[in-house]
């Protein structure tokens, strides 16, 4: 098998239809590829949507090549992809695809051809556009001790701009150039990311599922580099990413509070893993100060920070 496409969903019944439509209409697409949809959501509504609304109009090759996997519980982004990896046969490449992303068979083939032509590259991602056709940011500077320091001072954006220009890696300029580029101090969005399975060999072919949500794509790009491979961005290939569609709670404030708490916890894990417990502790103290000060803000923001603080202290996902 050439490529395993792995989609991890959580209450994405609407988005999954648009995600699968261009792939399941091409009768030749699944000749060398398989696709797994892992549903982390309660009741597995996303899988039901695929069965009822995608399969009936899909090419027969799609129905036989797609495996629907109900997760026993919410395993998170990395855990969901690992479940797909353990259930499916080995492949040369792994395409990580968000359920709120839309990619054509031609773009998938283009990413595969790029990895085949560049054996030193372990992962490649396309340019991403939002629903309105606007270029979406999909490459980000790595979290470093310097970036963490500026973040605590509230100057993270200034740090990012300076880093981009000093390295000549301003992402909008790279897009205008239209040529693939190997990223040195950046990581790629995991919304649409093709990974060489060999680049994960030192991880036994699996992702670090301690990351429930957020910073999992940065950790993956770091691991790919640690395995001796490069990470590249291909702005000549494009996909659509709706973004911001994950719903962890029906209550808007609780939903945003859970996202904030998960992002803080993941960032602390990232710093501990790559820079040590001491720096991770400083990041944790910075997060605590932000949550405490946010509890005095007016209106809904006060409720958001207070709820996030409760979740962080309780250690809940």
**Which of 209, 241, 273 is a domain's end point?**
241
Residue 203, pLDDT score: 87
Do residues 204 and 261 share a domain? no
Do residues 80 and 180 share a domain? yes
Do residues 225 and 261 share a domain? no
Q: Is the pLDDT of residue 20 over 70?
A: yes
In a domain, 247, yes or no: no
Residue 34, pLDDT score: 94
Range of the domain at 292: 252-314
Do residues 266 and 172 share a domain? no
Mean pLDDT of 184-196: 92
Do residues 205 and 270 share a domain? no
Residue 59, pLDDT score: 83
Do residues 141 and 258 share a domain? no
Q: Is the pLDDT of residue 14 over 60?
A: yes
In a domain, 73, yes or no: yes
Q: Is the pLDDT of residue 7 over 60?
A: yes
Do residues 129 and 79 share a domain? yes
**Which of 241, 264, 299 is a domain's end point?**
241
Locate 174 and state its tokens. Answer: 């790279």
Helices (H), the chain: 13-24, 45-49, 60-65, 76-87, 105-117, 145-152, 156-167, 171-177, 216-226, 252-275, 277-294, 300-314
In a domain, 188, yes or no: yes
Spatial distance between the Cα atoms of 21 and 172, rounded to a whole number of angstroms: 29
Mean pLDDT of 37-43: 92
What's this model's pTM, rounded to 2 decimal places? Answer: 0.89
Which tens digit of pLDDT belongs to each residue from 225-251? Answer: 999 999 999 999 999 998 765 555 556
Q: Is the pLDDT of residue 165 over 50?
A: no
Spatial distance between the Cα atoms of 72 and 83, rounded to a whole number of angstroms: 10
Mean pLDDT of 253-273: 90
Q: Is the pLDDT of residue 75 over 50?
A: yes
In a domain, 246, yes or no: no
Residue 163, pLDDT score: 58
Do residues 71 and 212 share a domain? yes
**Which of 178, 207, 241 is a domain's end point?**
241
Do residues 139 and 177 share a domain? yes
Do residues 166 and 298 share a domain? no
Q: How many domains does the chain have?
A: 2
In a domain, 16, yes or no: yes
Residue 297, pLDDT score: 84
Q: Is the pLDDT of residue 197 over 80?
A: yes
Spatial distance between the Cα atoms of 317 and 312, rounded to a whole number of angstroms: 9
Which tens digit of pLDDT belongs to each residue from 78-137? Answer: 999 999 998 777 889 999 999 999 999 999 999 999 999 999 999 999 999 999 999 998
Distances (CA, A) of 103 to 53, 170, 239, 241: 19, 24, 5, 9
Do residues 195 and 49 share a domain? yes
Q: Which of 232, 112, 126 is nearest to 181 (CA)?
A: 232
Q: What is the CATH number of the domain that holds 135?
A: 3.90.550.60
Do residues 176 and 84 share a domain? yes
In a domain, 225, yes or no: yes
Residue 308: helix, strand or coil by DSSP? helix
């Amino acid at each position: 098998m050439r490529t395993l496409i792995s989609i991890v969903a959580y209450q994405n019944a609407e988005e999954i239809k648009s995600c699968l439509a261009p792939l399941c209409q091409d009768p030749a697409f699944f000749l060398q590829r398989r696709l797994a949809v892992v549903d982390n959501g309660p009741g597995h509504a996303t899988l039901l949507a695929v069965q009822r609304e995608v399969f009936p109009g899909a090419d027969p090759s799609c129905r036989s090549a797609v495996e629907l996997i109900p997760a026993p519980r919410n395993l998170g982004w990395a855990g969901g992809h690992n479940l797909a990896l353990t259930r499916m046969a080995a492949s040369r490449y792994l395409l990580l695809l968000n359920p709120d992303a839309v990619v054509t068979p031609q773009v998938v083939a283009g990413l595969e051809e790029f990895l085949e032509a560049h054996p030193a590259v372990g992962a490649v991602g396309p340019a991403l556009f939002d629903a309105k056709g606007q270029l979406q940011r999909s490459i980000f500077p790595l979290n470093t001790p310097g970036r963490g320091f500026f973040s605590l001072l509230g100057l993270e954006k200034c740090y990012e701009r300076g880093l981009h220009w000093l390295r000549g890696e301003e992402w909008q300029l790279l897009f205008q150039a239209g040529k693939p580029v190997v990223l040195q101090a950046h990581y790629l969005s995991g919304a649409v990311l093709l990974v060489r399975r060999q680049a994960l060999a030192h991880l036994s072919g699996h992702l670090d599922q301690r990351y429930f949500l957020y910073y999992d794509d940065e950790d993956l790009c770091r691991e790919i580099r640690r395995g001796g491979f490069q990470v590249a961005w291909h702005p000549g290939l494009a996909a659509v990413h709706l973004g911001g569609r994950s719903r962890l709670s029906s209550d808007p404030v609780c939903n945003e509070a859970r996202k904030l708490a998960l992002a803080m916890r993941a960032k602390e894990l990232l710093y501990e893993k790559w820079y040590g417990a001491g720096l991770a502790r400083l990041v944790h103290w910075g997060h605590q100060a932000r949550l405490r000060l946010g509890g005095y803000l007016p209106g809904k923001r006060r409720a958001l920070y207070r709820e996030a603080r409760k979740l962080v202290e309780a250690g809940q996902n």
